[in-house]
Amino acid sequence: PKTITKGRIIKHVSEDGSKRYDFQFENRRGYKTTVEGLSEKFNKEYWNYAKLISGVLRYRMPLENVIKLVDSLQLESENINTWKVGVARALKKYISDGTAAQGVKCPNCGHETLVYQEGCLICKHCGASRCG
């Protein structure tokens, strides 16, 4: 539900080693609600890419590289491209303000002076900004 802003992921491991992830949150009335089997609730392609991103983040790949990886995914489904843009946008919010964007030119002036600010790229040369 859109009103839910926090919850927890619960990992279950069965005797055969298979894993299941549930999402548990507290609803407006204070009752705990559990959505079982998250991996079964989503498109398999989205789930697999989410697992890939989770893995590279756990092994501490720099966020800028994770974003480049996500941006480079060649996907057939138009919907997943929207998902891909959303994931990249969410990750950019965690890049420290003032971090230089390596090898990226400003679409306005062509200078490589872009820095991250609140998840957006801002050109230090001409002031142009781009979010998303």
Express each pLDDT in 33-81 by its tens digit.
998 887 777 777 777 888 888 889 999 998 888 988 888 887 766 665 6
Q: Which two tokens stand for residue 83?
A: 């998902």
Residue 43: strand, helix, or coil: coil
Q: What was the pLDDT predicted at 78?
A: 61
**Pairwise CA distance, residues 87 & 20, whole Å:** 22
Q: What was the pLDDT predicted at 1?
A: 65
**Pairwise CA distance, residues 80 & 51, whole Å:** 15
**Pairwise CA distance, residues 114 & 130, whole Å:** 10
Identify the CA nearest to 39 among candidates 12, 60, 15. Answer: 12
Q: What was the pLDDT predicted at 64?
A: 87
Structural domain including 17 reads 1-41
Pair 49, 86 in one domain: yes
Q: What was the pLDDT predicted at 79?
A: 60
Q: How confident is the model at residue 15 (pLDDT cuts 50, 70, 90)?
A: very high
Pair 64, 83 in one domain: yes
Pair 101, 87 in one domain: no
**Does the pLDDT of residue 85 top 60, yes or no?**
yes
Number of domains in the chain: 3
